[in-house]
Amino acid sequence: MSHFSATEQTTLAAVQLTDDERQPCEVWTRVMGYHRPVASFNTGKQGEHNERRFFAEPGRVCSQRR
């Protein structure tokens, strides 16, 4: 379920960006008690970050934020 109205969804679906118009998304993660951008990690730490796995706890239902 989306938090956008039908009109907003139609408008968003109509928006098309070329690769030149896009900008990179900066990903931050928590390391040793504080947040840092992943791009600032050394090669080994970036590799560890790429190998992370997400899991869902059995019997739990994730709720959507509102």
pLDDT in tens, 5-62: 777 777 767 778 888 988 888 989 887 788 989 888 899 989 988 898 888 888 777 6
Cβ partners under 8 Å of residue 27, min gap 6 = 37, 38, 39
**Where in the sequence is the domain holding 32, given as residue range(s)?**
27-52
Is there a domain that residue 42 lies in? yes
Which pLDDT does position 43 carry in this prediction? 93
In a domain, 46, yes or no: yes
β-partners of residue 34 are 31
* Residues linked to residue 36 through DSSP beta bridges, in sequence order: 29
37 in a structural domain: yes
Residue 62 in domain: no
User: Is residue 65 in a domain?
Assistant: no
CA distance linking residue 11 with residue 18, whole number of Å: 17
Question: Is there a domain that residue 16 lies in?
Answer: no
Tally the domains of the chain: 1
- The Cβ of residue 44 has, within 10 Å, a number of other Cβ atoms equal to 8
Name 28's Cβ contacts closer than 8 Å, sequence gap at least 6.
35, 36, 37, 38
